[in-house]
């Protein structure tokens, strides 16, 4: 290890002031980069300027048009002017933390051997936080809070029926571990009305299925639309998490505003929760170019805007790769050495000119069509090391250890849900 690390002299003895310098200069930067550069979906969305009033932010969204636009006869009355119709989304930040500790013996070793030893002691601890933060932020960007995924089938379920499921099966399986039969709420993707409040008894992550107990009838859902699966508020163990993409597009109430008008129908705050199959039982089926085009078309019809990119799990990327290429191969010949290189893979993929991106926490069996400008990461407090009375390290109560934490207060907000779509019910059996 060099004698200096940035502005830090590694040969110094560990003191309170020097450990603070280590944490801020040596570790905070990599942690910040991990969250902002390695969480793929977070990196794609903008850090918006949101005006906060205390712990609450107001994000106005347009939900209706000015009716003062129209035609008139010569010398006739002009269209009656009205204001743009807006609603205020009431945003409350989620409080995200990453904690770390150093034991008394490790502290003593640092005091005896200098800052270089201390840095080595902290390396493992902070590296673990880095991995945990990246994993947590990436997962919650998708399935944070209530919505864990989607059902594509249109059928009437009996006492116990197996349903196709696209989404975060791991999180749902975890809930089953905590409760024999966790309560769930099924919401129609066409009207946002509740289909049923019932229970789930098992999840098969590999097959992409769940077993739902009780009468569930989705046969009346409009062709081409799926249903959202939300964890009941009474069972919710992650109520303090940031709202994920699924919840931003699926919860009947969007940050305090009902998505539907009094008479129902599609509104600005409703998204496009679609199925690959457009008729019949809407069973999971093979991905097609037509179904991808239909999702893009639905966004254009409903919003007059367009998606910027597509997101999926790696298994969907493989399905699209097979759809687009069949059995591709690329052979490259090096004229200097005479060597031949064969590559049957693809590194960059697009659909309709839009980048296709992957995230390991995006649910299996679905594709997310994203309009970047309709999303904002609203920050109440920026990512930082917490300090108490100017100190980032504090004694841990009743233990021979010192500890600290990083914190970030933020919320993921979709300002234009109908500019986005989720296409679910895609067969991924052959993906490995």
Highest mean pLDDT out of 140-149, 181-190, 266-275, 404-413: 140-149
Structural domains in the chain plus CATH codes:
7-66+84-142+376-413 (3.30.2400), 145-371+416-424 (no CATH)
Does residue 196 have a pLDDT over 80? yes
Which helix (H) or strand (E) segment is 343 a member of? Answer: strand 340-343
Among 78-87, 153-162, 219-228, 317-326, the minimum mean pLDDT is found in 78-87
Computed over every residue of the chain, the mean pLDDT equals: 80
Query: What mean pLDDT is predicted for residues 32-52?
Result: 71
pLDDT of residue 406: 83
DSSP conformational letter for 374:
G
* pLDDT tens figures, 238-287: 678 899 999 999 999 999 888 886 344 457 789 999 999 999 999 999 99
Cross-strand partners of 5: 8
Confidence of residue 84 (pLDDT cuts 50, 70, 90): low
Residue 235: per-residue pLDDT: 64
Please state, in angstroms and rounded to a whole number, the distance separating the CA atoms of residues 273 and 424.
Answer: 8
Instruction: Return the percentage of the chain with pLDDT > 70, whole number.
Output: 73
The percent of residues above 90 in pLDDT, for the chain, comes to 37
217 φ, ψ (degrees, to nearest 5): -120, 105
Q: Which H/E stretch holds residue 395? A: strand 394-395
The pLDDT of residue 431 is: 43
Give the model's pLDDT for residue 263: 40
User: CA-CA distance, 282 to 213, in Å (whole number)?
Assistant: 20
Q: What is the pLDDT of residue 370?
A: 96
- pLDDT of res. 118: 64
**Is a pLDDT exceeding 60 seen at residue 88?**
yes
Specify the higher pLDDT residue, 389 or 213: 213
- Per-residue pLDDT band for 141 (boundaries 50, 70, 90) equals very high
| Average pLDDT of span 80-96 | 77
For residue 426, CA distances in Å to 150, 220, 277, 362 come to 11, 21, 9, 13
For residue 2, the model assigns a pLDDT of 45
CB 168 within 8 A of CB 266: no
In this prediction, residues 34-59 reach a mean pLDDT of 75
Tokens of 287: 């991905």
Q: Using DSSP, state whether 35 is helix, strand or coil.
A: helix
Maximal CA-CA distance, the chain? 92
Report CA-CA distances (Å) from 249 to 108, 224, 255, 384, 425. Answer: 51, 17, 11, 29, 17
């Amino acid at each position: 290890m060099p004698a200096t690390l940035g502005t830090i002299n590694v040969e110094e003895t560990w003191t309170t002031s020097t450990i603070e310098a280590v944490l801020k200069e040596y570790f905070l930067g990599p942690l910040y980069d991990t969250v902002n550069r390695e969480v793929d979906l977070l990196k794609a969305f903008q850090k918006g300027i949101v005006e906060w009033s205390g712990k609450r932010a107001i994000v106005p969204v347009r939900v209706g048009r000015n009716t003062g636009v129209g035609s008139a006869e010569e010398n006739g009355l002009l269209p009656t002017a009205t204001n743009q119709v807006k609603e205020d989304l009431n945003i409350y930040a989620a409080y995200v933390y990453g904690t770390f500790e150093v034991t008394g013996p490790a502290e003593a070793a640092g005091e005896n051997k200098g800052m270089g030893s201390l840095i080595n002691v902290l390396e493992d601890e902070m590296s673990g936080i880095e991995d945990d933060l990246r994993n947590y932020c990436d997962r919650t960007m998708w399935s944070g809070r209530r919505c864990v995924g989607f059902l594509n089938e249109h059928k009437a379920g009996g006492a116990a029926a197996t349903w196709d499921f696209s989404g975060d099966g791991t999180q749902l399986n975890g809930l089953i571990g905590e409760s024999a039969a966790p309560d769930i709420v099924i919401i129609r993707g066409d009207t946002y009305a509740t289909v049923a409040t019932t229970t789930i008894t098992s999840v098969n992550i590999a097959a992409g299925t769940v077993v739902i107990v009780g009468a569930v009838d989705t046969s009346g859902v409009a062709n081409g639309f799926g249903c959202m699966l939300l964890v009941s508020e009474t069972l919710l163990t992650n109520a303090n998490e940031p709202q994920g993409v699924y919840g931003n597009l699926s919860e009947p109430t969007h940050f305090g505003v009902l998505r539907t008008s009094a008479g129902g129908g599609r509104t600005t705050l409703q998204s496009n929760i679609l199925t690959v199959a457009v008729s019949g039982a809407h069973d999971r089926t093979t991905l097609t170019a037509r179904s991808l085009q239909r999702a893009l078309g639905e966004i254009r019809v409903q919003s007059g805007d367009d998606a910027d990119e597509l997101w999926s799990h790696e298994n969907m990327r493989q399905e699209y790769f097979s759809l687009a290429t069949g059995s591709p191969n690329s052979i490259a010949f090096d004229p200097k050495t005479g060597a031949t290189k064969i590559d049957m893979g693809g590194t960059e993929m697009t659909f309709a000119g839009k980048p296709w991106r992957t995230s390991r926490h995006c649910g299996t069996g679905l594709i997310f069509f994203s309009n970047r400008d309709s999303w904002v990461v609203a920050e109440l407090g920026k990512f930082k090391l917490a300090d108490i009375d100017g100190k980032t390290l504090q004694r841990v109560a009743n233990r021979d250890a010192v500890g600290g934490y990083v914190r970030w207060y933020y919320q993921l907000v979709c300002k234009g849900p109908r500019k986005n779509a989720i296409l679910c019910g895609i067969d991924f059996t052959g993906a490995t």
